[in-house]
Amino acid sequence: MAIVVEMLSKDGKVLQHYFIPKEQVSIGRAYDNDIRIDDPYVSPHHANFSITEDNNDIAICDLESLNGVKINGKKSADCALSYDDVITLGRTRLRIFKPCQQVPPTIVLSELEENLSWLGYRRVCFILLSVFFGLVGIKYLNNNPGQFEASVLVEAFMRYAVVVSIWPFAFALLSKLAKKDSHIISQFSLLWLFLISIELLDYVQAFLLFNLDAISAVNGVMLLNKSLLFFALFWFTLFLAFHQSRRARNSIAATGTVLVSLYVLFPILFGANDFSPNPKYTSTMMAPAFRVVPTVEAHTFVQDSTDKMVEKLSKARLKSDP
């Protein structure tokens, strides 16, 4: 038979692991002990641990030490120990159990984590960053023709990059604190991927808004798409940062997404009835080559629009009547 002794840190992490192939283990500050503890509060021959005769438990025997033995913070001696008990000698914390103690089941190595390894390559991260930078630059140039100033663009981009970098840095820090790899490169790659997708979705949205007349449907679908993207970002960030159960990860990501969506939707849902003297509409224009739907005839447009607007306005009038 053998006895396993683990030295624990204050928060229960294993500092040192001893496997002693004997039925009795002596612990103390003297050099002739099986396990020597360099702790001034521990007596030279502090205690003995031995497997009981019925071979079931480990018993502790305090060898009249100065500071005694505490089990789970309580002073006691000569009692049977179980795996969960934390034994304190002086200022040293120990766990003592038999080697036949069961370990938790093995976690299946996630294929996903393997598949995501490319996110962690520096050059991937750099390429994604460059793509994002390019997209933002193109947008800037198309919106501000003739006012190109590299310094302004770079400054604006840097400011933006600093703000969005809070996200990967925060999660990298949290995962480091949780004794896991920070995956900082992967976190950044993930963020750039998310931002690139949002930029591309904006182009899709503009294309749809230009071609279709169902403005609120397009905006609704696009908001849904962006929420899904955000959910994905959140989910993968958590996946890289922490070992959680899939369920916990799903629910955290879903809650976060709902909160962010509500934040975006709030003014639309609750500000819609506020009076505005100016009309609100979408005016997206694109070059004729991007026009893919057939046009409607003017009289159809006028008739349909008038009917629809008059119907909505009559409702609005009725609602406003005290």
Residues that bind another protein (CB under 8 A): 141-143, 145-146, 210-211, 213, 215, 273, 275-289, 291, 293, 295-299, 301-306, 308-310, 312-314, 316-317, 320-321
Nearest distance, CB of residue 320 and another protein, angstroms: 6
Residues forming a β-bridge with 3: 20
Nearest distance, CB of residue 219 and another protein, angstroms: 13
> Nearer to another protein by C-beta: 40 or 279?
279
Nearest distance, CB of residue 194 and another protein, angstroms: 24
> Nearer to another protein by C-beta: 170 or 200?
200
> Nearer to another protein by C-beta: 9 or 306?
306
- Measured distance CA(11)–CA(79) in Å, rounded: 24
> Nearer to another protein by C-beta: 74 or 319?
319
Nearest distance, CB of residue 209 and another protein, angstroms: 9
The long-range contacts involving 226-229, CB below 8 angstroms and separated by at least 24 positions, are 226/198, 226/201, 227/257, 227/260, 227/261, 229/194, 229/197, 229/198, 229/201
Task: Report the side by side order of strands in the sheet with 58-62.
Answer: 35-36, 24-28, 47-51, 58-62, 80-81
H-type alpha helices, 71-183: 111-115, 122-143, 150-177
Nearest distance, CB of residue 152 and another protein, angstroms: 17
The angle formed by the CA atoms of residues 238, 176 and 16, to the nearest 5 degrees, is 125
- Measured distance CA(100)–CA(102) in Å, rounded: 6
